Amino acid sequence: MNPLPALRPWEAPEVTSWGRLPMNAVDRRPGALPLDGDWRFQLLSAPDAPVGGDWGSSHVPGVWTMQGTDDLPQYTNVRMPFPDFPPGSPDANPTGVYERDVEVPAEWAGRRIVLQVGAAESVLLVHVDGRPVGISKDSHLAAEFDLSGVVRPGERSVVRLTVVKWSDASHIEDQDQWWHGGITRSVLLYATDPLHLADVTVRASYDGELRVDCRVRDARGALPSGWYVSGELEGQLIAQDAEFDRVNIEDDRVSDFLGEARLHATVPDVRTWNAETPELYGLTVRLHRPDGTVADTSYQRIGFRDVEIVGRDLLVNGERVFIRGVNRHDFHPLTGRTVSYEDMRADLVLLKRFGFNAIRTSHYPNDPTLYDLADELGFYVVDEADIESHDHAHEIADDPRYLNAFVDRVSRMVLRDKNHPSVIIWSLGNESDYGANHDAAAGWVRRHDPTRPVQYEGAAKLDWAATDDCSDIACPMYAPLEDCVAHALSGRQTRPLIQCEYSHAMGNSNGTLADHWAAIESTPGLQGGFIWEFWDHGILQRVNDGRPVGRGGAGLYDNGVAAPGHRWAYGGDFGETIHDGAFIADGVVFPDRTPKPSLYEHREIAAPVRIECFKHEGIVLGNHQHFRGLDWLSGTWELALADGRTLTAPAELPALRPGETAAVPLPFEVPRDGGEAWLTLRVTVAEDQPWAPAGTEVCVPQIRLRGPAERVDVTVDRPVAVDGEGLLVHPLLTAAPALSLWRAPTDNDELGGMALRWRTWGLDSLVRKVVSVREDGGRVTVVAEYAGTVGVVRHRQVLTPVEGGVRIDEEAELPAEFDDVARVGSVFETVPGLDLLEWFGQGPWESYPDRGAGAPVGHHSLPVDELFTPYLRPQESGGRHGVRRFTLSAPDATGLAVELDEPRQVSVTRHRAEDLTAAAHHDELVPRAGCVVHVDAAHRGLGTASCGPDTFPEYRIAAGVHRWSWTLRVL
């Protein structure tokens, strides 16, 4: 065995591996001996620290940072967690030593025995019985080592896996993620015949052409004669007697013979694979000895499909498809980087139910099981290499010391995942500038796999229309929508524009998502993108000692909320001095996979069937899929009337091919009067799908059939009660209606700079001064001034007694300084006991002016405690847009009712804005007994300015006069 390649291999970027076997696409998991479970464990202070005599235990797979050690998780976005420049690493370098006894099965005598370590973060050193076996870098791909010469079948051996946390490789694994250390994927041992299948490459075209290239190696030396391969597709023999051509492979380490053979077949009436109908075939390849017995077998499910770029369009099976994608990390709130099959399947099932059809594996190859599931359930995958050098991107991109690492990581990803039909694009990594190292890796990919395009944002961002860089796709991050549209209309576009990241989902976010997709679907040349991201990466933490809960905490969270005494930790919560705070909490789901309200927005934007328009007493429906009809769907019509009624009727969906439309008759006779009427088509799965049982809701397209009736209040002759400050006195209110211009800043508000501006203006601490209080026949007019630090808002409130209550007409004049405030409206508080909100407007989930497409207008009802959305960092949440009227009631049906002059933004929670602003975590919040109610004349949109564009101008609040009117009655 060759000597160790470097005294300190964790600081040698030219050493990507030693003793590690080549990557291949042959799945060895079936029939392997699993080595998962509890291993003997020690955590050392440095790689060269001596191993002591006292052993603890650590579960494999798993990270030691989540298993009770003193080395805790740390979150950074761009900054490295240590100051050393590439390729250096700190002297204080946590190093985990894992040991276990392994008894090799006696029946493996004479066979080739291989150890597979699924992933280790970040450098893996392997010893068996004290003898060095090999080294591997690349934290997110498996490493295999031939143990045939160091273990004996039927006997026990001690396997030691040493994992070094920091290394030269850490500088190209600088992803926006928690830093961990450990063995994150399964460890196994398997055996093959010395002459074995070294690799299998499948190319299955959507016209039914199948080509299977097989490679074999013989661990004993030269290939013998007479060996051959056969192939079987879905039980049908496709070829046999394919003998091997021999190719001599020589370098300074090995002299070996490699055998190659090709199987070819044409499948008639082939069932093609796409994300809507992911048809798979079982392919078995067998390696035969001269006497016909089987020496080795490879089985995989394959899909017949083509991917190509024609002009500026990305085509799947000849069709231009929209990429409705999300970025996804391997993550779990209890186990860190280790994710089970059940959890991965749950991830993809949820995404499928909410209209996603694509995943970018940010920013490394994901667990191999994910690709099996993507093949099965139907997702387009952008497979991304484990390369991100964010903090030192410019110098590393052209650093020849890292050339081998770039090519090694990209090529190993391609070799592992090339047979998955779900993988349609290779990505060279993320946020690593652009240099010769990328071009070298791209050259390798294009030579090895010309069937898929290559993308890399760092190259394409220099010029979206360039034709001489390493990216086949313009894949920018958070590009302003107007720039994307302008590029598509410029006549200069040369390649597809698909954003690798857009619509940053941090906190209460994803504003203007519907606006983006309206532009994408109407602008040739724009083809979609990937939302950042799937998960809020909160780690479940015990509040009393500040440590991760670990694998035993499965019952300590529900509906996005941690149990009492626990919270979702983000950057800084584990005592780190270098961290990036809540920027880790930027997903469309909470850490327990509970959907955020923005998921419903996406579901509606991606609806497979839509109401196009209402005309001539009929409804026009359209099929917005690419490959599938509507026969897998069923529907129910709902008619929501302003008088409180909701009518239902079954819907018969027309037989429409993709892209077709058809008119269907109105399912109801709409009353001629009575105010607004909204028609909704509630679409569900007709028959069980692999990702959804029958009855699962898919989308709820809606159209308004009639506008609102004129609102009339009948005034009465009685006085309105006010106190000495001109504030309304009401038996159900504990705080009278007052002007509100402030909201608890969202993450977008804070990171986008708006919150700082609002604080500078003093919007969070306005001082009210009464100017005048005038009574005229029971009506009271109150004029007040609300002073900030740089401006004064003049507020006029007219209180008019009406039948059953009081009408409140309000006017606020914002000075020119206040040209973009958070909200303009009224806030009041109620007595305790009013715990049920019923409303006519958008719902039932949270919605805002620039995020309301997924919340249909109708009659909705929820307990007050369920209206609030528990974003990891408390902030403005729980709003409902387009509310026409609402009631707050007690169990005995007493309470209050509010009618609005026009659809307005309303929120009802247990928290004042200042309560939310002051809290860093939800365990710090104390709900108030009554309700805090906001009725807004205008509310600022959400945007995605925490990382990306702010909301559009039409969703901002201008200075000048704002007027609104509402009526408060007692039930």
8 A C-beta contact, residue 54 and residue 42: yes
The DSSP bridge pattern shows strands 526-532 and 497-504 to be parallel
As a whole number of angstroms, the distance between CA 879 and CA 874 comes to: 14
Residues 6+ positions from 911 with CB-CB distance below 8 Å? 744, 868, 874, 925, 927, 928, 932
Residues 6+ positions from 572 with CB-CB distance below 8 Å? 75, 579, 581
Structure tokens given for 322 = 């929209």
Facing residues of 130 across strands?
none
Q: How far is CA 631 from CA 354, 634, 670, in A?
A: 19, 8, 28
- Beta carbons within 10 angstroms of residue 405's beta carbon: 28
Indicate the angle between helix axes 341-353 and 368-377, nearest 10 degrees: 40
8 A C-beta contact, residue 704 and residue 676: yes
- Cα 704 → chain centroid: 32
As a whole number of angstroms, the distance between CA 289 and CA 283 comes to: 20
Amino acid identity at 168 = D
As a whole number of angstroms, the distance between CA 788 and CA 440 comes to: 58
8 A C-beta contact, residue 967 and residue 713: yes
431 included as an active-site residue: yes
Facing residues of 557 across strands?
562
Alpha helices in 202-360 (DSSP H): 341-353
Sign (positive or negative) of CA dihedral 509, 510, 514, 520 = positive
8 A C-beta contact, residue 874 and residue 921: yes
Strand ranges across the sheet with 661-665: 609-615, 618-623, 661-665
- Can you tell me which residue has the tokens 């909410």? 354
Catalytic residue among 431, 533, 750, 846: 431
Collapse the DSSP code of 89 into the 3-class scheme (helix H, G, I; strand E, B; otherwise coil) and give the result: coil
Collapse the DSSP code of 313 into the 3-class scheme (helix H, G, I; strand E, B; otherwise coil) and give the result: strand
The DSSP bridge pattern shows strands 539-542 and 566-569 to be antiparallel
Amino acid identity at 217 = R
8 A C-beta contact, residue 141 and residue 409: yes
Collapse the DSSP code of 805 into the 3-class scheme (helix H, G, I; strand E, B; otherwise coil) and give the result: strand
Structure tokens given for 177 = 């993620």
Catalytic residue among 11, 501, 601, 846: 501
Residues 6+ positions from 84 with CB-CB distance below 8 Å? 90
Cβ density class 420-456: b for 16+ within 10 Å, e for less: bbbbbbbbbbbbbbbbebbbbbbebbeeebeebbbbb
Residues 6+ positions from 698 with CB-CB distance below 8 Å? 353, 355, 603, 607, 608, 633, 683, 684, 685, 692
Which one-letter DSSP state was computed for residue 348? H
Residues 6+ positions from 910 with CB-CB distance below 8 Å? 864, 865, 868, 927, 928, 929, 930, 931, 932
As a whole number of angstroms, the distance between CA 739 and CA 504 comes to: 31
- Considering only CA atoms, which of 971, 801, 799 is closest in space to residue 887? 971
Structure tokens given for 207 = 């016209």
- Cα 224 → chain centroid: 50
501 included as an active-site residue: yes
For 416, phi and psi rounded to 5 degrees? -75, -45
Indicate the angle between helix axes 436-448 and 403-417, nearest 10 degrees: 30
The residues assigned a catalytic role are: 431, 501
